[in-house]
Amino acid sequence: MSGPRSHLEDYLALRRGLGFRLRRHGQMLEGFVSYLEQAGAATVTTERALAWATAPAGADPYWWRRRLAVTRPFARYLAPRVPGTEVPPAGLLPGPSRLRAVPYLYSAEEVAALTAAAGEIRTPFRAATYQALIGLLAVTGMRVGEAIALDRGDLDAGQGLLTIRGAKFGKSRQLPLHASVLRALTEYAGLRDSRPGRAGPAFLTSVTGTRLIYQNVHRTYHELTKAAGLRPRSAACRPRVHDLRHTFAVATLARWYADGGDVAARLPLLSTWLGHADPSGTYWYLTGTPELLALAAARLDLPGGSR
C-alpha cells in the first residue's frame, strides 16, 4: 500500500503546473510527511496533522493554523488514493486571522543605512553580496525569491537588461537597468568570478558559491535592520525585506503624480514591471502615504480634475 511519501511529488507537480510556486509549502509538506513516517503513520489523520501543526511549542497560533492549512489540500488529494486518509476540518484551530502587515516605507537614508550595515559584515564577499542584493531589491522592486533565483546569464550587460525567469505564476520578464545599477552589478559579478572554485550557476552567491537560501536572507536582513538603527513604527509596521518592493512601487507612483502624467494609464506598466498577472495585484502596494495623498489632491484641483 502506498503512503503519503509516494504521492507527495505528484501532488506538488500538479499544483505547480497550475501556476503555484509552493516553495515554502513544499518544504512544510516534506516536513509533515517525514513526521508521519517517524510516527509510523500510514496516512494523514486529523490527529496526526494537528499534532504536527502545533509541534513548535510557544509558536504564534497563527503559525499553527498556517501549518495545519497546508495539510488540508494534500489530504484531499490523498483521500481517493490512500485508504484511511482524513481531511482535517476547517476551524479546527479557531482564532482571528493575522492582520496584514502595514508596509514599512523606507526613506533613501534608511536604504543607505541598510547598505552601509551590509558593508560591515565581517566576511568581505558576503558583505558585497548583501549590498548587491539590497541595492537590487531597492531599485527594481523585484521579489526576494526572484533575486536569489537569478542565474549568471540573466544579466545582459551589453543590452543593460536583467531577465527574471519563471517568476510567480510562471511568468518571465525583462527589466532595463540604469547605467549605475548595471555598473554595480557588473562589479559584483567580477568580484564573484574572481573567487577560485566558485563557479555555481547563481548570480548572487554565498561565500561557498552556492545559491542564497530564502530563510537565511530574511534572518540576515533582520539583523541588518537592527544594525542600521531601523525600529518598528508600530506593532504591525516593522522593517521587512519585502517592503523594499512596496517602497519602490509607492515611489514610482509618487514620481508619476509629480510629473503630471496619466497615472491610471501608466499603472499597467508598473504591474508588468513588478510581475503581476493583473493590475489589481498592484493596488496593494500603492498604500496612501501623506506624500501620495497630497499629490493626488493637487491633481484633483487641476482643471478637469485629472486623475
Provide the annotated active-site residues: 143, 168, 242, 245, 276, 285
For residue 234, give the 3-state DSSP assignment. Answer: strand
Record the cell numbers describing residue 112, joined without a space.
543607505
Helix (H), strand (E) at residue 155: strand 155-156
Residue 108 carries which side chain, given as an amino acid letter? A
Count CA within 13 A, CB hemisphere, residue 7.
21
Instruction: Provide the 8-state DSSP code for 173.
Output: E
Of 129, 117, 124, 120, the closest CA to residue 239 belongs to 117
Are 240 and 101 contacting, i.e. CB atoms less than 8 angstroms apart?
yes
User: Cα-flanking dihedrals φ and ψ of residue 202, to 5°?
Assistant: -70, 150
